[in-house]
Structure 1
C-alpha cells in the first residue's frame, strides 16, 4: 500500500486497500471477527490525501497553545519544562493512534460513539462535554489572541488613530475581535467538510513558522535588562502541573482525530500513523524552538502570550502578530466544526439540516466572541481548559476505552501504560485546576487594557 499515491487512488487499487485493512485487523487481533463496520470501502472514504490530513492535524496542534509554551517553561522550570514537553509529545502521539485503534475495535467512526459503545450514555455525556469544552475554550482563546495581536498591527499602520476617539474604536481590541471573527472566521466555519479547510490550514502553518523564527531571532535583541533567572526557573518551578495543562492544551487534537482519519481517501492505521508522527514531530520542534528561545529572552517576565513581551512598534514582532492573528482566524473554524459536530451527534440522527447548521454555527461564533470580550487572561484559559478537557480527552478516556475493548493480557505493556496514563491525567486535572483557581481568586490574573 505504500506505493499507492493518494491522488491516484481509485477502485482499481481496491485489492491493495483491502490487504492494508486486513493488516490493520491482524495487528488489532480482529481477523475473523464478524464486524462489517471495520472495513471501510474505497467509495466511503473521505477527500483528504496524506498531505492535507497532515496540514489539518498539525494546524489543530499548532494553534493557540504554541504561544504559551515559553510561559509553560516558566511555570515548570526550564529543565523540567523541556523534558515535560518532549515526554508529552510521545504520549500524545501514542494516545492519538490509540483512539483509531479503539475506533476499529469498537466498529465506531467517531470519538463520541466509541466512548458510548464502551460506557453507555454516561460515557457519551462525558466525552461530549470534554470535546465541546475543549473546542469552545479553544475558540475563546483564539479570540483573545486576536484581541492581543491585531490592535498592535492597526496602531502601527495608523499611529495617530489612538489620539482620536472615533478612530480609536476601529483600532481597539473589541473591534479587532468582532471584525476578524465575524468577517473571516464565520464564513469559513460554515463549511460542512473539514477537508475543505486544508488550504487555510496550510497558510496557517506557514504563518506559525514565521512566528517561531521571529521569537528565536528577535527575542534576544529586545530582551529587557531587568529580566532574570532563578534556580527554580532554570530547574523545577512550583507551577509544574499548570505547565502540564498548558502543554497539553497545545498538543491535544483528539477531538479532531477521527474526523481527520475518516477524511482520508485511504484510512488505514499505517497511513494515519505517518500523519500523526509528522504532525506531532513538527509541532514539538516548533514548540521547543519558540518556548526555549522566548523563555530565555524574557525570563521571569515571560507572559502567557510571548508576543506581548515585544514592543508595540517592533516591525518584525508586528509581522509575527499579524501571522498569529491570521492563524487564529483560520484555525477557529476547525474548533467550531467540532463543537457543531458534538451538538449534531445529540440533536440529529442523520446529517444536520441546513437551517440548523447555519443557526448553530452562528450561535457558537457569537457566544465565543462575546465571552472573549470579557476576559483577556490567556494563561488562565489555557490552564483551565487544558486541565479539564485536554486531560480527559488525551490521558483518561482513550486509555479507559482500550482497557475495555482490548483482549490483550492484563499485564500487557500497553494496558499497564494505560493505567499509568489515567493516574497521571487525574492527578494533573485535580492539582492544576485547584492551583489555577487559587491564582484567580488571589486577584493576580491579567486585566484587559482599556482599548
Structure 2
C-alpha cells in the first residue's frame, strides 16, 4: 500500500515538473522561431510603408545612415532589455512577466508608473495606427479594382471608415484569444505576409527604376513645400523611422513565452538579432528602392504610389498581405493591454464570479474554448474605442511619426539602459556609464524634435479635416 502511495506521489511530482514552470504557471513552449516571428510581426508593420517617404525627406545618404543608426540602437538596447526579464540575476532571478514589472523590480515605483504611462499609451497608439493603415490598404484594393473595371478616369474614391469598421469586427473576434501564448500561429502567418508585401514592393520599385520614373508630376516637394516645411518633414521622417523599430514595448511579453532552457535571455538576444537584421535588410531595400523609384514624389504609403495600373492584381495582393499582417500585429500589441486590465481586475476582485469564472465551450474542429464574460466584454470595448479613434483621426504619416517619437526614447532606450546600469551595478562616471547616458541623451533629442514635427503635421491636417469623412 505504501509503495502504491509513493508511486502515485512520484507520478504527481513528475506531472508538475513536466507541465509547469518554476513559477507554477503552465510550461512555456516558445522557442527561437516563435520569438523571431513575434518580433518580425511587431517590427515589420505599417512602418515599412513610410520608409521611402522618410528617406526621400532626409536624402538618400542621410536616410540610410539614420536607418542603420536606429537599427543598431534598437538591437543594442533590446539585448540590455532581454537581461531584465529575470531579476536580480538575468538567468536565475525571478521572472518579470511584463515590461512594467521589470521596471518596478529594477528601478522602483515612481519610474514604474512613468513607464506604464509611456508603454500602454504607445501600445494603444500603435493599435490605432494599425487600424488606420489597414484601411488605406483595403481602400487601395477597392480603387484598383474600380479603375481596372471602369477605366482610369472613373471616380473611384473609397471611404476608409467602412474598412476600419470591418477591421475592428475582425479584431473583436481575434481578441477573444486568451493570451500571447496562443498567438504563435497568427504571428507566423503575419510574418509571412510581411515578407510577401515587402518583396512585391521591392519588385515593383525595381521595375519602376528600370523603366524610369516620371518627373512631370506637379506634386513634387520642391514645388509645393517651403524650406520650413521641408525641415519639419525631415524631423517627422526621423519619427517614422523610429516607429518602424518599435517593438521594445512587447519584448518582455514575447520573452515570457519562451521555454526556460536554454536561458530566456540568450534565446531572446538571438531572436532580436535575427528579427532586427532581417527587418533592416527589408527596410533598407524598400526605403532605398522606393526612394529611387519615386524620388521626392515618394508617397507616405509607398505601395499606393505604383498607381492602379497593370499588374493591378499584384498590388492588390500586396495590399491584402498588409491587411492580414496588420490583423496579426494588432493582436501582438494589444495583448499586453488586455493582460494589464485583466490582471488588475482579478487582483482587485478575486471573488467576483463575473471577472474570474471561465465557461468551457466546445467548438467543433477547434476543441474547447474558455469563455470569460469580463474578458470578452472588456476586449470588445477596447477594440471599439481604438476603431472609433482611428476613424476620427486618420492621419497616417503624422500619427506614425508621433507614436514613434513618443515611445522610442523612453521604452527602447531610456528604461533598458537604466535597468542595465542598475542590474549590472555600473559605477557612476565610468566609461560605460558615460557612454550609456550619452546615447540616452542623443536619442532624447531626436525623439523630441520628431514629436514636435509630427504634432505640427497633425495640426496642419486638422485645418482642413472633416471628421468621419475620410476618403482615399
When the two structures are superposed, what TM-score results if normalisation uses the length of structure 1? 0.81
Identify the residue that residue 21 of structure 1 maps to in structure 2: none
Are residue 176 (structure 1) and residue 175 (structure 2) matched?
no
Identify the residue that residue 240 of structure 2 maps to in structure 1: 246
Q: 1:44 to 1:147 in 2, by over 3 A?
A: closer
Identify the residue that residue 419 of structure 2 maps to in structure 1: 401
Q: Give the superposition deviation at 1:100.
A: 2.3
Q: CA separation in 1, counterparts of 2:161 and 2:149?
A: 15
Are residue 265 (structure 1) and residue 231 (structure 2) matched?
no
Identify the residue that residue 138 of structure 1 maps to in structure 2: 126
Greater Cα shift, 399-408 or 271-280: 399-408
Identify the residue that residue 369 of structure 1 maps to in structure 2: 387
Q: CA separation in 1, counterparts of 2:140 and 2:234?
A: 32
Which of 361, 375, 384 is the aligned partner of 1:357? 375
Greater Cα shift, 239-248 or 125-134: 239-248
Asked whether the equivalents of residues 395 and 424 of structure 1 are also in contact (C-alpha less than 8 Å), the reply is no
Q: 1:367 to 1:268 in 2, by over 3 A?
A: same
Q: 1:310 to 1:160 in 2, by over 3 A?
A: closer
Q: How does 1:409-428 map to 2 (within 5 A)?
A: 409-428=427-446
Are residue 211 (structure 1) and residue 197 (structure 2) matched?
yes
Q: 1:160 to 1:87 in 2, by over 3 A?
A: closer
Q: Give the superposition deviation at 1:400.
A: 1.9
Q: 1:162 to 1:191 in 2, by over 3 A?
A: farther
DSSP-derived class of the 1:359 partner: helix
The structure whose Rg is larger is: 2
Which of 221, 224, 247 is the aligned partner of 2:214? 224
Identify the residue that residue 62 of structure 1 maps to in structure 2: 44
Greater Cα shift, 114-123 or 280-289: 114-123
Q: Give the superposition deviation at 1:421.
A: 2.2
Q: CA separation in 2, counterparts of 1:150 and 1:229?
A: 27
Q: CA separation in 1, counterparts of 2:236 and 2:303?
A: 20
Q: Which runs of 5+ in 1 are unaligned?
A: 1-10, 15-38, 231-236
Identify the residue that residue 432 of structure 1 maps to in structure 2: 450
Which of 389, 401, 409 is the aligned partner of 1:383? 401
Asked whether the equivalents of residues 149 and 321 of structure 1 are also in contact (C-alpha less than 8 Å), the reply is yes
1:263-316, CA deviations, whole angstroms, 9 ceiling, x for partnerless residues? 111343222221111011111111111111111111111122112212134332
Q: CA separation in 2, counterparts of 1:187 and 1:196?
A: 14
1:78-110, CA deviations, whole angstroms, 9 ceiling, x for partnerless residues? 111111111211211121121122333344512
Asked whether the equivalents of residues 168 and 384 of structure 2 are also in contact (C-alpha less than 8 Å), the reply is no
Identify the residue that residue 274 of structure 2 maps to in structure 1: 278
Asked whether the equivalents of residues 399 and 454 of structure 2 are also in contact (C-alpha less than 8 Å), the reply is no
Q: 1:240 to 1:406 in 2, by over 3 A?
A: farther
Q: CA separation in 1, counterparts of 2:122 and 2:285?
A: 25
DSSP-derived class of the 2:87 partner: helix
Q: CA separation in 1, counterparts of 2:76 and 2:194?
A: 24
Identify the residue that residue 303 of structure 2 maps to in structure 1: 307
Asked whether the equivalents of residues 180 and 335 of structure 2 are also in contact (C-alpha less than 8 Å), the reply is yes
Asked whether the equivalents of residues 221 and 297 of structure 2 are also in contact (C-alpha less than 8 Å), the reply is no
Q: Which runs of 5+ in 2 are unaligned?
A: 1-13, 89-93, 223-229, 357-371
Q: CA separation in 2, counterparts of 1:339 and 1:202?
A: 21
Identify the residue that residue 330 of structure 1 maps to in structure 2: 328
Q: CA separation in 2, counterparts of 1:381 and 1:139?
A: 11
Identify the residue that residue 81 of structure 1 maps to in structure 2: 63
Q: Give the superposition deviation at 1:449.
A: 4.6
Q: CA separation in 2, counterparts of 1:412 and 1:268?
A: 29
Which of 72, 78, 81 is the aligned partner of 1:90? 72
Greater Cα shift, 208-217 or 289-298: 208-217
